[in-house]
Structures are given as C-alpha cells and as structure tokens.
A and B are shown apart, each in its own frame.
Chain A
Amino acid sequence: MMNFLNAGASGKRFVILGFDGMDPAVVLRLIKRGEMPNMKRLSDRGVFTMMESSLPPQSPVAWGTFIAGADPGVTGIFDFIHRNPENYTPMFSQSETQPGKWVVKLGKYHVPLKPGKVILNREGRAFWDYLQDRDIEATIFKVPTNYPPSASGQRTLAGLGTPDILGTYGIYTLYTADVNESQQELPATNVYYAYVDENNVMEGQIDGPKNDLVVPEDPYAEPEAVIVPFKVYVDFTHRTARIDVQGHEVLLAEGEYSRWVEIDFPLIPMVQSLTGMVKFYLLQAESKDKFRLYITPVQISPAHPALPVSTPGSYSADLAKQVGLFHTLGLPADTKALSNNTFSMENYIVQSNSILAESKKLLDYELHRFLGRKQGLLFFYFSSLDQGQHMFWALNDPQHPYYHPDEAKRHGYITEEYYREADRIVGRVQKALPRDAALLVMSDHGFAPFRRQLNVNSWLAKEGYLALSAGSLAAGASIYDQADWGRSRAYALGLNGFYLNLSGREGQGIVTAAQKRPLLEEIKAKLEAITDPKSGEKVIRTAYISEDHFSKNWIQRAPDIILGFERGYRINDDSALGVLSAEVVEDNLSWWSGDHLMDPRRVPASFLSSFAINRDVPRLKDVAPTILRYFGIDTPSQMNGTSLI
C-alpha cells in the first residue's frame, strides 16, 4: 500500500475522479460479482469505504463542501434553492445575475456603461487556490458549485450550476406535428407545432435570450427574445432531414443526434451578438403528421463563451480547439425531456452516451497533459451516473409506484452498465498513471429510491404552522397566493428544508427570537413522528436544527430545519417552490424515480483510493485537507475537515 508521506517532495501527482452519485452499495455489489475489476484493484491497493456526505446531501452543497474542506456554514450553500427573506422569493443558491448599470440610450438601444455580471455565491477559499500559493498546478474539470468560476490562476472549468444562454438550467425545444403534443403545457420546454408544407419544408426558430438592449415601445413590456430562424427539408421516403441554420447545414437520419452547431443571436446588429450552441435530434421523420424534432437547450459555447465558464477565460476555447465543442450546461442530460415523454428511454440513452463520450474525450486530453507534468492535481467530474440513476431507478425497483415491467425488461441493465463504464474509465486512468501517483475515486453522495413525496407546505398548513387565507388546502395553489403571512409561523422552500417566519428577518415575520428555539424543537418532534398513511413507515429519519450543525459564518442563509428523509421519501417537488397539494404524502409517478435528497446517513458517498487513510469512515470535508497534506500544506483555518493521511 502506498504511503504518501514517504513519497519525495517533488514529482507528486494526484488524480481525483468525481462520479456524482456513485453509490457504495452498488459498487460493492458489482465488485463482488466481478464486474468492476478496476475499482477492485484500486481498493485492494488502498481503501474502499463509504464516505459521509454533506448535510443535506445535495450536489451543490456536497461539492461546495469538497471545494472548501468545510461544512455548508462556511460555503454558504445549503440547498439548490435559497430564498429572499424579504419577499419569500425562491432563488438559485449558487449564483445570481446582477443587471448592467448606468444605462445610456443610443437611438433604439439601451447600452449599459457597466455591463451586468454573474456572481458566485459560494463562500470560502477553494483548495486549488492554496495549491496555487505553492506554485502547484491544478486542473479542476467541471466541479459543481463553481459557476461562474471563482477567480483563480488555476485551470478550472465550471460544472453543475452553469446555465444555458437564456439563464435557465435547461429549456429544450420540440417541434412536433402531433397537434395534441404541441398543445401540451410542459415544464422547461418550448413546444411548437411543426407545419411541414407541400414541399416538405418546415420553418422553425431557435429562441435566444431576451434582448434588453432594445428600447421597447412600451416601457413596461418585457424585452423580446432574439430568435434565429431555421429551415428543415425533410425526405420522408428515406426518413432524413437537412437543417439549414445561419449557413450551417446539418444532415440527420431519423433517430440521429447531431454535432454541436454554433448559433449567433444578434443583440445590436453588426455590433453585439451572443453565441450559443445546440444539437438537433431528429426523433421522427415518418410523414407530415409524424414528424418530431428536438433541439437541446441553447448552451454556452466553450469556443465563444457568452458567459464566463473557465479560468483563465481562454481555457474553454483552447479545449474546444483541441477536442471540439463540448457540453457546458451544468446538468447536460435532458432528464426533463424524458420526464415529459418527449424522449423515449432510447432517446435519453443516446443523448446520455453522447455526453459521456465527450467527457471521456476531454479526460483523455487532460490526462495526457497532466502526465506531461512532474507535479500537480487533476480533478475530473462525471455527471452520467447521477443523472442516469435519477431517471432509471424505477426500472430495477418493483416496489416503485412508477415501475414499468416492460421498460424494466428492455432497459433494466442500464444503471449497472453506467457503473461498469465508470469502472472502465478508472481502468484507463490506472493504466496511464505511474505507480507513484495517487488516485482517488469518489462521489458526493449515494442513491436511493424515491417512491413517495412529502409536501412540507401542505403538512405545515395542516398542522397550523402555515396559515392560508382561503382557510383550506387547494391543490396547485401557491403560498404566494394563499399564505397569510401575518398568521404563519413557518413555510417551506427548497429541496430539503424549511424556514420559520422570523420577525426581523422575513418581510412579514411574526416568530420572535424568544419563540424560535421552542418552536423549532416542537416542529422537529412532530416531523420525526410523521408516518406514511399508505405503509405506516417513518418518513423523516431526523429533522436537523441548522444552528446545531453548521458553522456560523453564513448560517443566516440556511433553512431553519434540514429534513433528513428516510430512504424512499423526498420532498414533493411542488413544495420546493411553495406549491401546495391536497395530499401530504403522495406517490412519485415520474421517471425521476431515484434520488438522494435524504438523510446523509441513508445515502453515503463512495471513497476508493490508492492510499491508506486514518479514519474508518472519511467525511467529504476531509478530502480537501487530504489533498493539501499530500502536497505538504497544513490544513488552513477555514477548513474544519481533517487530513486523512
């Protein structure tokens, strides 16, 4: 077994492969079956164990903990979604966009003298900056919770949290000749009717960002989106299509997924435009009324980034030059398209495999560059396991309310295949690395079934903590329409927690400082006593009172209670945005059937290393101090994890 500390002061190299959502129980099962030989080899050489995730075990929270070597109280990221206490508005936790300042009017255009910018809300210094202090090079590839990438002299590429060019987290476009499908109200989607004319030509548009540089005639009107037209020439005989867009020509057969195509959205013609990129997926080209074309969310082009995605700024363009365009959206596989039934399982798998292939190509390139150095760190992130398990869990879970035996027969193999693919990636890296280089394969959390969902706002209303102006629960109503804040003591927003309506903090808070702790204790006890009316099972393992578990630095952003769900349960996704449902606990009838928004003790992460460690169960926050120790750097005071070596 390798001992780091005996290695020489120079020639130290460390590779970390981050597989989001890799579950240690699945890894163990496949190792025992002999289906993960490379992970087995790694664990024989060093360690394979479960690792304590963050509280809550959500990816932005967990990877933030990894980056800072400290709990979320230090990073200030407690959930995918935080809220503005002044007006109870939900907001994305990781970053925020600040509009341009000091606008001048030039003809029909508004020109900001100080352009808008995106701010990273993650606090605490990243471990790679401590390496930079010692002139140790690091490449940090797509680590989540680093969009926009924090200022650094290291090579970093933003990962989860990176939006599309519209500033959303993935809104796709569907053109369909099915009238019923075209009239569906689907979330996170632009759906258009596909009219194919007598010459078998369809005209469409790609929706770009809203152009707030144009002075609107009506000062109260929303700025209009910039649109880019395209034409599709369809050959129904051969089930093929040619797509013409801005001089690009894309030829596709039915079922084929295109290369990336860069699109320029003109904001001020000839002066300013934004570049994005899309892929086209010809889902169906059977006849005029059986035609469907999918277009990915308009992603930021790494070659011409409209928003910052890397440090140095030129890094993403250099990569694109070397290996071609690649996905930049934080969660690149279109899980929403599968949930909405726009994609079949096969369609989703095609897209997911394409993403994985891009990632492997990028890894090969970065690994080659890394091996040319005598010292340094390479972190490389993969999202496919996480996204795949979210969508495929029910295929292997007959107890799941969304279990489909036919789909299970056809695609039940896929989750384990993703694990075997992860193992092959580990094998490639092991083969390339010299023996004295350290290798860590890790995840941020494990996985579990998501069978039933709790609407926390509905529960709070039924228990009398959330007062509704209408007096009774109405499914689909929102706390913004229904809550009587002057009589409400608590409300839920986000994916793992809820807030007291605290006087002096919330805009219309009523709970006094003296009432706070007794109320938290009272609600905690009630939450932990909730049972599922269908099965009698306990729904919440532990309700964690935040002030008992987090460092104080940024605790003002934290929910007052973090819900540690039992396996099988999760927060209702409506509740996360303040929407009520008639039933407090409901079935989850969605392909999004696996999850990890549970008690961290129920979904531990994976830790496999080529070296021995000094704890039986390492913690995610211990990894950064371990990296620094490997390179001879003492744990900085900011970090409350401890070195594992």
Chain B
Amino acid sequence: MSAKVKISKESAQKAEAIIAFQGYASLEEMVEDLIQKEYDKIKAGDNKEELAKKLSGLGYIS
C-alpha cells in the first residue's frame, strides 16, 4: 500500500530537521521508521501477558 498525505509547511520543516538530525535517507524512510516505533509501542502496551511470561522466568514472580 502507498498513500499520499498532506502536512502543514511547519510540520514539513520539522520533518526535514528530523531527517537531518537522525540521519534518515529520505522522508519515506523517516515515516516508515516512526510508524514502526509507534506500532511497537502499541504492541508492547497490548502484550502484557507476553511480558509477564518473559518476566516470570526470573523466579521472583509466579
């Protein structure tokens, strides 16, 4: 899937700054990466059982 989105001039300037500062090669790369990060956050938040399973191996938690 590809999609075009419109953003304000101010946001475009901020995006350029992020690209330069973080070393992204392109706007597409930055957007892909930020979407992935947000997606991972949601997954982490929804995945508490998985986290509990991981942590339970510590022994301190049943």
Contacts and interface: CB of A to CB of B under 8 A. Distances in A.
Interface of A: 80-81, 84, 86-87, 89-92, 99, 101-103, 163-164, 167-171, 187-188, 297, 331, 335-336, 339, 387, 390, 478, 480, 495, 573-574, 576-578, 590, 592, 597
B47 to A, nearest CB: 8
Contacts of A335: 59
Given A89-B44, A168-B57, A169-B57, A574 B62 contact: yes
Nearest to B1: A219
A225 B43 CA distance: 17
B33 A187 contact: no
Interface stretch (B3-11, B13-21, B48-56): B48-56
A246 B33 CA distance: 38
Nearest to B29: A102
A336 B60 contact: no
A99 B36 CA distance: 9
20 contacts: A80-B55, A99-B40, A101-B33, A101-B36, A103-B36, A164-B57, A168-B53, A169-B55, A169-B57, A170-B59, A187-B61, A188-B57, A336-B56, A336-B57, A339-B59, A573-B60, A573-B62, A574-B61, A576-B60, A577-B61
A102 B36 CA distance: 9
Given A101-B33, A480-B48, A168 B62 contact: no
Interface of B: 29, 32-33, 36, 40-41, 44-45, 48, 51-62
User: What are the nearest 9 A-B pairs in CB distance?
Assistant: A169-B57, A170-B57, A335-B59, A168-B54, A87-B45, A188-B56, A573-B61, A188-B57, A187-B56
A589 B58 CA distance: 18
B60 A597 contact: yes
Nearest to A576: B61
Contact of A87 (B41, B53, B55): B41
B51 to A, nearest CB: 6
Contacts of B52: 90, 577
Contacts of B36: 99, 101, 103
Contacts, number: 86
A89 B58 contact: no
Given A577-B48, A578-B48, 4 more contacts: A84-B45, A89-B45, A102-B33, A331-B58
Interface centre among B32, B33, B36, B48 (most CB of A within 10 A): B48
A90 B58 contact: no
Nearest to A573: B61
Nearest to A60: B58
A390 B48 contact: no
Nearest to A575: B61
B60 to A, nearest CB: 6
B55 A590 contact: no
Contacts of A170: 57-59
Nearest to A86: B41
B37 to A, nearest CB: 9
B53 A171 contact: yes
Nearest to A102: B29
B51 A89 contact: yes
A90 B61 CA distance: 13
A336 B62 CA distance: 8
A80 B45 contact: no
Nearest to A588: B62
B3 to A, nearest CB: 15
A188 B53 contact: yes
Contacts of A297: 57
A169 B48 CA distance: 16
A590 B62 contact: yes
A576 B51 CA distance: 12
A105 to B, nearest CB: 12
A163 B53 CA distance: 13
Contacts of B58: 80, 169-170, 331
